[in-house]
A and B are shown apart, each in its own frame.
Chain A
Amino acid sequence: MSLAIVDSCVNCWACYDVCPSDAIYQSSPHFLIDTKKCTECEGDYAHPQCASICPIEQAILDASGMPVNPYGSLTGIPPELLEDAMQEIQSR
């Protein structure tokens, strides 16, 4: 089983350094995960490392194709509260 990096990756290199399995490689247009090498960090860490440091929502998918960091999970603002948060921030 393997995670996958998709289009929204911004090539920030963060995941590359933290993968315990050396499964991530630089490619064009974005970084990729070698499905044969990825262990999902099983046996090394409680959480997949790439998805724990990736700063971009929706950039890494789990084995079932679901984003590990869906919309709102990294900004800490769920999409339905975005409007409110925006108003609060704009009143500063």
Chain B
Amino acid sequence: MELTVLDQNNDAAAAAAGGCSTGSCGTTDDQMSHLPDSIREKVENHPCYSEEAHHYFARMHVAVAPACNIQCHYCNRKYDCSNESRPGVVSELLTPDQAVMKTKAVAANIPQMTVLGIAGPGDPLANPERTFETFRRLSEEAPDIKLCVSTNGLALPESVDELAKHNIDHVTITINTVDPDIGAQIYPWIYWNNRRIRGRRGAEILIEQQQKGLQMLVDRGILVKVNSVMIPGVNDQHLKEVSRIVKEKGAFLHNVMPLISEPEHGTFYGLMGQRGPEPEELQDLQDECAGDMNMMRHCRQCRADAVGLLGEDRGEEFTIDKIEQMNIDYDAAMQTRKVVHEGIMEELHEKQEKKRRLAAVSVSANDATPQANTRPALMAVATSGGGLINQHFGHATEFLIYEASPAGVRFISHRKVDQYCIGNDSCGEKESALAGSIRALKGCEAVLCSKIGYEPWSLLEEAGIVPNGEHAMEPIEEAVLAVYQEMAAEGKLEEPQPEAAVSQTASA
């Protein structure tokens, strides 16, 4: 079961491209399986937390909370909260009333929508009236929708009681540091007890509040996810400690996101020339943190008013004037939703079963052959969703990076690329943008896609990346494993990785 993916190759979508792009996610070996049953039940059909679920279930955000009570150096307050969105995105601000209307309209039209989040455009908890009125009404009027909220944490302790009253079981806190000296390099000031507090002291209060809030939520059995923005030279090494601490305190997921600091977004970091991490730096850090904690690698940094499956935005279908025309009978919708959800859960369970069988097969197949000691290899996949290799190389706005090794196939990360071809027109920048895509694939030994043009084909080969269009429409993991086994059979894995690709897997 799959939602229709809207055609993103039109102008409106291009304009919104600062937000989510088309594409899909990666599924790693059952990321949720280590969690206690009580938690697993809660997150099983949450599209942001379960890598499986977000192929099937949809989430939406409503932008009801404009104000913010701190300043992050990676945020330009003209735009949405950078903790939750890519910078440079502006959401349509809604009143709580409009937000409730929109949520019900989407839930009725997209029965796969299970989660409603408030993530901005500012800090939801710095807008307690707007945020809580929205939650209060939804808990009453649409009890089958899960609610979640994300925050910078400053106002979290005072909000926990109110949060606990509603249907809210997921809170995301952005924690970039536990060290006030590092904090002072990220947060120039906070607004606290009716004053602006600058520098180290401000960061210290923010950190205290974040940690206190985290503890209070965990004590009440509310799930906490922690997001961190990786800022090279500021908190990159430190995030390992953050990961360890938040895990000890009981956060169930830690999600490390790359700093995005394009100068044109006008953030302090962007204007000052602070760089973001290279894909391999991010991946290394995520790997190191993963030993400590379950990582969320498929996060897409959606925009605050996003609607749809992760990586897909159907917001255009649900603008306020369109919603006002819709006549929603929510009781009837809830019946339909229930049937659809049950169907999806069944399909998910079947898929997990199949995966377990597949894993068992591939391990034993490897055990039986001398290839059991082959080195790991990274591969990139172009997909538009559904867990299949189903996208043209030239249409991919991002690639999913997988690592294949004798232990099996695991999802590593997303890598964004600029599209080098967006249809008939505007292919002028083609050459250089294509080179950009190839750079984004650094470290990969193969790229799997449904089709690929002649020109990129030869450029990829020159870069030491083998283009592969033979597995179109096949499930990603099976195809990656098949290619890995071919590489092994051809003896490619006995040679060291080709020059151009070496830097990546060396440390991975």
Among A47, A55, A76, A92, chain B packs the most CB atoms within 10 A around the CB of A55
A-B contact pairs, 23 of them (CB 8 A): A12-B77, A13-B66, A13-B122, A14-B77, A14-B122, A17-B67, A17-B126, A17-B127, A46-B194, A47-B194, A47-B196, A49-B194, A53-B69, A55-B68, A74-B188, A75-B188, A75-B268, A76-B189, A76-B198, A86-B272, A89-B269, A89-B274, A92-B274
Q: Which residues in window 189-223 of B have CB below 8 A to A?
A: 189, 191, 194-196, 198-199
Residues B273 and A86 in contact, CB atoms below 8 Å apart:
yes
Residues B272 and A89 in contact, CB atoms below 8 Å apart:
yes
Q: Is B233 an interface residue (CB 8 A)?
A: yes
Interface string of A52-72 (1 = CB under 8 A from B): 110110000000000000000
Interface string of B270-290 (1 = CB under 8 A from A): 001111000000000000000
Residues B199 and A76 in contact, CB atoms below 8 Å apart:
yes
Among B196, B234, B274, chain A packs the most CB atoms within 10 A around the CB of B196
Q: Is B232 an interface residue (CB 8 A)?
A: yes
B190, closest chain A residue (CB): A53
A20, closest chain B residue (CB): B194
Contacts of A10 in B (CB 8 A): 77-78
Q: Is A85 an interface residue (CB 8 A)?
A: yes
CA distance A92 to B194 in the complex (A): 34
Q: Is B371 an interface residue (CB 8 A)?
A: no
A16, closest chain B residue (CB): B67
Residues A53 and B196 in contact, CB atoms below 8 Å apart:
yes
Q: Is B366 an interface residue (CB 8 A)?
A: no
Closest 6 CB pairs of A and B: A92-B233, A13-B66, A90-B273, A53-B191, A14-B67, A10-B78
CA distance A34 to B71 in the complex (A): 26
Q: Which residues in window 15-74 of A have CB below 8 A to B?
A: 16-18, 45-47, 49, 52-53, 55-56, 74
* Known contacts A12-B68, A75-B268, A92 near B188 by CB under 8 Å: no
CA distance A75 to B234 in the complex (A): 16
Interface residues of A (CB under 8 A from B): 10, 12-14, 16-18, 45-47, 49, 52-53, 55-56, 74-76, 85-86, 89-92
* Known contacts A12-B77, A89-B272, A90-B273, A74 near B71 by CB under 8 Å: yes
Given contact pairs A89-B273, A90-B275, a sample of 14 additional A-B residue pairs in the complex whose CB atoms are under 8 Å apart? A12-B67, A12-B78, A12-B122, A13-B66, A13-B67, A13-B122, A14-B77, A47-B196, A53-B196, A55-B77, A74-B189, A76-B188, A85-B272, A92-B232
CB within 8 A of A12: which of B66, B268, B275? B66
Interface string of B116-144 (1 = CB under 8 A from A): 00000010001100000000000000000
CA distance A85 to B232 in the complex (A): 16
Contacts of B195 in A (CB 8 A): 46-47, 52
CA distance A54 to B273 in the complex (A): 24
Count of chain A to chain B residue pairs whose CB atoms are closer than 8 Å in the complex: 71
Residues B69 and A14 in contact, CB atoms below 8 Å apart:
yes
B185, closest chain A residue (CB): A89
Chain A nearest CB from B123 CB (Å) reads 10
Contacts of A47 in B (CB 8 A): 194-196
Chain B nearest CB from A50 CB (Å) reads 11
Residues A52 and B191 in contact, CB atoms below 8 Å apart:
yes
Among B199, B232, B275, chain A packs the most CB atoms within 10 A around the CB of B275
CA distance A21 to B71 in the complex (A): 24
CA distance A79 to B506 in the complex (A): 43
Interface string of B63-75 (1 = CB under 8 A from A): 0001111010000
B232, closest chain A residue (CB): A92
Contacts of B233 in A (CB 8 A): 91-92
CA distance A19 to B404 in the complex (A): 57
Chain B nearest CB from A16 CB (Å) reads 7
Residues A92 and B275 in contact, CB atoms below 8 Å apart:
yes
Chain A nearest CB from B106 CB (Å) reads 24
Chain B nearest CB from A7 CB (Å) reads 13
CA distance A80 to B169 in the complex (A): 48
Chain B nearest CB from A45 CB (Å) reads 5
Interface string of B223-238 (1 = CB under 8 A from A): 0000000001110000
Chain B nearest CB from A76 CB (Å) reads 5
CA distance A7 to B117 in the complex (A): 33
CA distance A76 to B268 in the complex (A): 11
CA distance A74 to B187 in the complex (A): 10
Contacts of A13 in B (CB 8 A): 66-67, 122, 127
CA distance A52 to B71 in the complex (A): 12
Contacts of A85 in B (CB 8 A): 272
Contacts of B232 in A (CB 8 A): 92
Residues B77 and A56 in contact, CB atoms below 8 Å apart:
yes
CA distance A10 to B71 in the complex (A): 14
A45, closest chain B residue (CB): B194
CA distance A56 to B274 in the complex (A): 20
Chain B nearest CB from A26 CB (Å) reads 10
Q: Which residues in window 39-86 of B have CB below 8 A to A?
A: 66-69, 71, 77-78
A85, closest chain B residue (CB): B272
Chain A nearest CB from B205 CB (Å) reads 15
Contacts of A18 in B (CB 8 A): 191, 194
Residues B77 and A52 in contact, CB atoms below 8 Å apart:
no
Q: Which residues in window 234-285 of B have CB below 8 A to A?
A: 234, 268-269, 272-275
